[in-house]
């Protein structure tokens, strides 16, 4: 299976290491022999139609900060140029999420689909801004579009709701979908101010380069859009979400909640309306998880409410979700 990888940050590198360490096992168990034929990062690209050497790729990135120093390859292609000129079966899109115009991810995804390539995206931008039309484009071009790593990282939230609860009608859901804000709010319960809790989260590398994505609830809102479309069959985008972040939560608010045996959490909910807001929730509620954990509770007609909890982010966890999607695509191709 020939793969083009757009984006070679923490997730892209984690994926390459995962594929390298599991190559024999993947072939023996699933008949999957992934061959990365092109990689692009913000400074350049590397191409080899027979397949790039994965270990060398990671070493070059580590040494030079870009893949463009990999051997004598064409190293100045943009993602679009690579997608148009290199034959591949799957695009894996891991560039940074952008909620203004979703570029460059949006162009990568649409170019790949029009060329008949299957797409795996962990970039939330294109899905947050154009989920319905991307699904239509995938159907029109008869390609598969997978994105299980966009919500919950390595925790299979989308898969659980779609497959484990199949036959059920989910009527509503609510959850903590951003580990960074959860970590900050959890730390504030120990008496830290918002500023100190934010500083600690930054020191641990939990905060996005653009902190507003976490603090203003944009990341959580993007995930809510993906869930609402995928699970509830809605046709919504980011502007449909009523979104408030955590910047105005004070230590007084935290103390007041504690007196009621509650904690303040940034809750993304889909009931009659779609909202991301800080809310008081009971400490006895299964949703009330701490640290960087994510949790989501699905309420369905017959089986009541079920909560799934797990790590929301991290390079290795997200890479494992990409591998799950890759195996799903392989299974479908073999079935056809």
Instruction: Check: CB of residue 221 under 8 Å from CB of residue 268.
Output: yes
- Distance CA(136)–CA(155), nearest Å, equals 26
- Distance CA(47)–CA(84), nearest Å, equals 13
Q: What is the DSSP annotation of 192-236? A: --HHHHHHHHHHTT-S-SSTHHHHTSHHHHHHHHHHHHHHH----
Q: What torsion do the CA atoms of 23, 30, 93, 239 make, to the nearest 10 degrees?
A: -140
- Distance CA(67)–CA(75), nearest Å, equals 8
- Distance CA(156)–CA(308), nearest Å, equals 9
Instruction: Check: CB of residue 129 under 8 Å from CB of residue 238.
Output: yes
Answer yes or no: 223 catalytic: yes
Instruction: Check: CB of residue 38 under 8 Å from CB of residue 86.
Output: yes
What's the N-to-C CA distance of the chain in angstroms? 15
**CA dihedral over 243, 182, 97, 15, signed as positive or negative:** negative
Q: How many CA atoms lie within 13 A of 318 on its CB side?
A: 23
- Distance CA(19)–CA(12), nearest Å, equals 11
Instruction: Check: CB of residue 124 under 8 Å from CB of residue 153.
Output: no
- Cα separation values, 135 from 83, 101, 118, 292, 304, Å: 20, 18, 12, 31, 29
Q: How many residues make up the chain in this entry?
A: 336
Instruction: Check: CB of residue 90 under 8 Å from CB of residue 1.
Output: yes
- Cα separation values, 252 from 79, 213, 276, Å: 48, 24, 21
Per the residue annotation, which of 124, 223, 248, 265 is the catalytic one? 223
Instruction: Give catalytic residue positions.
Output: 223
């Amino acid at each position: 299976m020939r793969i083009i990888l757009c984006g070679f940050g923490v997730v892209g590198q984690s994926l390459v290491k995962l594929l390298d360490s599991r190559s024999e096992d993947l072939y023996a168990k699933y008949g999957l022999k992934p061959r990365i034929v092109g990689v692009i990062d913000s400074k350049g690209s590397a191409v080899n139609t027979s397949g790039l050497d994965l270990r060398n790729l990671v070493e070059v990135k580590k040494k030079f900060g870009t893949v463009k120093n990999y051997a004598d390859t064409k190293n100045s292609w943009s993602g679009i140029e690579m997608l148009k000129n290199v034959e591949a079966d799957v695009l894996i899109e891991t560039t940074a999420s952008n909620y203004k115009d979703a570029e460059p991810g949006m162009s990568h995804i649409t170019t790949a689909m029009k060329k008949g390539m299957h797409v795996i995206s962990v970039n939330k931008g294109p899905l947050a801004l154009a989920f319905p039309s991307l699904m239509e484009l995938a159907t029109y071009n008869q390609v598969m579009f997978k994105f299980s790593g966009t919500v919950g990282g390595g925790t299979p939230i989308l898969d659980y709701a779609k497959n484990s609860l199949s036959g059920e009608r989910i009527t509503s859901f609510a959850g903590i979908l951003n580990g960074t804000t959860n970590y900050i709010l959890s730390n504030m319960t120990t008496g830290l101010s918002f500023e100190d809790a934010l500083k600690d989260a930054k020191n641990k590398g939990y905060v996005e380069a653009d902190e507003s994505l976490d603090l203003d609830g944009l990341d959580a809102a993007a995930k809510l859009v993906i869930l609402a479309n995928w699970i509830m069959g809605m046709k919504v985008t980011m502007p449909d979400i009523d979104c408030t972040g955590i910047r105005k939560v004070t230590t007084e608010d935290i103390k007041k909640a504690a007196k009621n045996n509650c904690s303040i959490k940034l809750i993304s909910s889909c009931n009659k309306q779609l909202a991301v807001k800080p809310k008081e929730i009971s400490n006895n509620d299964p949703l009330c998880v701490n640290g960087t954990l994510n949790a989501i509770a699905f309420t369905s007609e017959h089986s009541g409410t079920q909560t799934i909890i797990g790590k929301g982010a991290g390079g290795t966890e997200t890479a494992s979700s990409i591998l799950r999607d890759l195996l799903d695509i392989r299974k479908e191709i073999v079935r056809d």
